Structure 1
């Protein structure tokens, strides 16, 4: 398996992936024009001067079973944004608390509230993570998601120092969100899936036009809606656990459509960023050790794959197959980090 920078000829495969995501992956709409623009934005970001405002990168996971230099089937996608909200509003709800008290009546009530804010504008974002269900095995999900941390470590000047990840909220198999049904539907009169799709296309003006500006008391919502605030979709639980193991924490912000939580971490405090090392690729016929992520350090053709290895004073032992997948030569420098802070081979 290999993660690499996206190319124009990946559009068809990317569209097929988008059609299989289901509801809730807002930044991956099944729209050919929108996805084409994302590919072009990624290619333009490679050529742009370092700036968070000009950074929008997309990567794909490739099943390179044959070990060819050209690659194989595209089975996953992930993305990075240097700074969100620069050209279109970035909304979320801030979960707060309101106290209502009266000494005369002996009443003291603490009520949870939701404030519509743009507090996270300017943050770097982990986005568009999706792995085809048939490939959710053998640490593929960890490789796909965590590969972005090596890119952040290599090119930190292209990203804001605060990194966020909006997690997919709770919805059922039919795409019904209990939070949306209890709140959003009263103001939009459209299905959650349609609102989610329009947001993915960048049509966010309707949010500002229709959403209530006053604090929302969650006590007015249904019990089912209150229960899913800051909770993630069942399929997203492993992704949340993985991010939390890397240092991300829930920051009190939730999505305005499905109430999924936003996780946050300072770029330099992400475990895989902080612990990554620049090492020399040392060719070996066989290698052993913990599972490491290894990246080729190139902006325009970034590649990451896994290798069971351990650094030595001479460099990082890698098989020639791994070296070929990374598109490097023996003796080139690589950036590497253990896939997990846990024991060998853990995902």
Structure 2
């Protein structure tokens, strides 16, 4: 039984290793010791903070194998982007060039630098180590966040977004960035990506074109990857689309990867979730996992995958003693849960 819990300072080495394993393009986790330590400190403060509305909080979680203590992956939620560091993206638009007299009409796509998502909550920093990519671990590491958001609504915006990694090769070369680099910047994609990851974004405002870019002026290679995701990101994108997320017409300013969005009230796992008190039932020990389950805490948050049986007459959820122990719960305390396979 894997456990998801808030990150702590003891997880520094594991998170640093994950940053190294994640590779170029994983902007939210740069390979930088100082930045990683600060992010862990910020996360610890966020979990401990009393919150009435979303602000600069950054909730970073880890998935752990409790038998070995090994950290298997990480994922996070940023409560409100752009509050203490400008959040840039490109909006995909269109202009019409037409002449009635000449009977000519051309539709031209545009890319306009903007801050439209300021204040939205972002699910981010999802990475599962290769040897842990089995069973429902990947879905769990992504979807438990929707349960956490549903349980603690005051901490998050109604709009939830996710930036998806765009197309780049093994060396970190991005066709989209190569065009921008040639015309507006003098640094490669890995450098620009790293600077953004460590919070040095002033160069974006200083060097990025101030006016809309006509898409048809980009190289054919750059045009082809706008709104497309990295091959390794396709499963994550498909999972979010199945949850009700959609492409909102915005792409990343570096690699052209899409940003997907959803209203929290229409995310399927959040919609399907229930909050009930528990009964502890030893007959459920060893029964196949059927649900994603979280306790209702913040600082002492825990999440597991386990069997859940609902007694509708008593309005309680039954879980095994092992699950209750992993969640740090006693009989009568509450859980929020949703089926691993929606529709069950």
| TM-score, reference length from structure 1 | 0.94
Pairwise CA RMSD: 1.5
Instruction: Quote the Cα distance in structure 2 between the aligned partners of 1:207 and 1:148.
Output: 30
Name the stretch that deviates more: 278-287 or 24-33.
278-287
SS of residue paired to 1:311: strand
Aligned length: 338
Instruction: Quote the Cα distance in structure 2 between the aligned partners of 1:185 and 1:36.
Output: 34
- Say whether residues 1:37 and 2:70 are aligned partners: no
Equivalent residue number for residue 171 of structure 2: 174
Residues 74-124 of structure 1: per-residue CA shift (max 9 Å, x gap): 010111111110112111000011111112333211111101111111111
- Note the 1:204-283 alignment, pairs <5 A: 204-283=201-280
Moved over 6 A (4+): none
Instruction: Quote the Cα distance in structure 2 between the aligned partners of 1:330 and 1:29.
Output: 42
Equivalent residue number for residue 59 of structure 2: 57
Name the stretch that deviates more: 208-217 or 272-281.
272-281
Residues 298-337 of structure 1: per-residue CA shift (max 9 Å, x gap): 1101111101333123422222111111121233211111
- Say whether residues 1:197 and 2:199 are aligned partners: no
Instruction: Quote the Cα distance in structure 1 between the aligned partners of 2:290 and 2:247.
Output: 28
Equivalent residue number for residue 3 of structure 1: 4
Deviation of the 1:185 alpha carbon:
4.1
SS of residue paired to 2:306: strand
Instruction: Quote the Cα distance in structure 2 between the aligned partners of 1:54 and 1:312.
Output: 40
Unaligned runs of 5+ in 1: none
Instruction: Quote the Cα distance in structure 2 between the aligned partners of 1:274 and 1:106.
Output: 50
Deviation of the 1:194 alpha carbon:
0.9
Name the stretch that deviates more: 282-291 or 196-205.
282-291
Instruction: Quote the Cα distance in structure 2 between the aligned partners of 1:182 and 1:5.
Output: 40
- Check the 8 A contact 2:56/2:83 in 1, yes or no: no
| TM-score, reference length from structure 2 | 0.94
Equivalent residue number for residue 143 of structure 2: 146
Equivalent residue number for residue 309 of structure 1: 308
- Check the 8 A contact 2:56/2:84 in 1, yes or no: no
- Check the 8 A contact 1:56/1:80 in 2, yes or no: yes
Unaligned runs of 5+ in 2: none
